[in-house]
Structures are given as structure tokens and as C-alpha cells.
Amino acid sequence: MRRNGDGEEVVAKRRTRKIKEVVQVALRGGCLAASAAAMAVMLTANEEGVADIYGFKLTISSNWSFSPSYQYVVGACTATMIYSLFQLCFGVYRLLTGSPIIPSRFQAWLCFTSDQLFGYLMMSAASAGSGVTNLNKTGIRHTPLPDFCKTLSSFCNHVALSLLLVFLSFIFLASSSFFTVILLSATT
């Protein structure tokens, strides 16, 4: 029995496409998981403690909702979670039906643009949250207020972990965007 060289090439292309699509769906799942975890960790960031400022004992408390930057992080995580959930469900459905995840160049460009938009949203939220977190950790140098993280270490650890997960979510979105570019370059 003779083998057809073109048939093997078609099978190899299908296998390569399937691997790319599974990776794309896995990246969507990773982004969803990282965004959900970041939001959950941020929502649990609250703590009370007693600070000693020049011999005076002051009760201080902190909650993620006290800072507009942390509210922005929660909002960005929520939007990215919804987008990632939609893309994940759509991708799994397309995988199960055997049709391409991104069937047209228009949809590829739409996915690329959306991934970029949500990626930049996550990066800007993480950057805004990082600024406030750094200020909490180092204190305000030109005033006698100490850093809050000595007294509220659990709060600061929650916020830092949340911001790490937000950056991870950005990496998943950037990787997904990268795979879409590979798809677009392969179809030209």
C-alpha cells in the first residue's frame, strides 16, 4: 500500500492546529484562574492592628475598598474574568465540535485586539495597585507616618499576592495574543 505524502502533510497540519488550539484554550483557562484568584485574594485583604507612633498607640485598619487603586484592580479582574470565561467557553465548545477556534481573519484580529485591551487593562491595574502597595510598605518619607506593612502585614501580603496574580493574568493574555499573531501570520 502506497502512502500519500500530501495526506501525511494534511494530518500533520491538523495535529499542529489542534495543539495550537488546545494551548489557546489552556491560556484562556489560566487567565481566568489567575484573574479569579487575584480578585478573591484582594477581596479578602483587610486587617486591623495597633501602631506605635511616637509613643502613642493608634488603632489602624485597612481594607481593599479604602483605596481607589485597589478598587480598580478588583474591577479590572472582574472584567477580565468575564472576558476570559466567555473566550474559554467558546474555545471549549469549538474544540468539542471540531471546528477551528478562530475560523476567520476578522475573528483573529478581534481576539488579538481584545487580548491586547484586557492585557493592558490588567497591566495598568497592577501598576496602579503596586504604587499604593509600595507607599504602604515604605511609608511617607516627608511625614512621621510609618509604613503600614509592619502593623498590617497580612493585609500587605494579601495585596502583594493579588498583584502578582494580576501580572500573571497579563502574561496569559499576552501569550494568547502572541498565539493569535502566529495564527494570523500563518494564514497570510
Contact 187, 105 (CB under 8 A): yes
Q: Averaged over 34-53, what is the pLDDT? A: 85
The per-residue pLDDT for range 50-106, each reduced to its tens digit, is 766 677 777 777 777 788 899 999 999 999 999 999 999 998 998 888 887 777 888
The per-residue pLDDT for range 163-177, each reduced to its tens digit, is 999 999 999 999 999
Rounded (5°) CA angle 158-160-165: 95
For residue 169, what are the CA distances in angstroms to 17, 49, 73, 88, 172? 24, 31, 12, 14, 5
Looking at per-residue pLDDT, the higher value among 178 and 149 belongs to 178
Residue 1 has pLDDT above 50, yes or no: no
The per-residue pLDDT for range 135-146, each reduced to its tens digit, is 777 766 656 566
Contact 73, 145 (CB under 8 A): no
pTM of the model: 0.82
Contact 45, 64 (CB under 8 A): yes
How far is the C-alpha of 101 from the C-alpha of 18, rounded, in Å?
A: 9
Ranking 36-45, 77-86, 130-139 by mean pLDDT, the lowest is 130-139
How far is the C-alpha of 34 from the C-alpha of 188, rounded, in Å?
A: 33
Average model confidence (pLDDT) across the chain: 84
Residue 151 has pLDDT above 90, yes or no: no
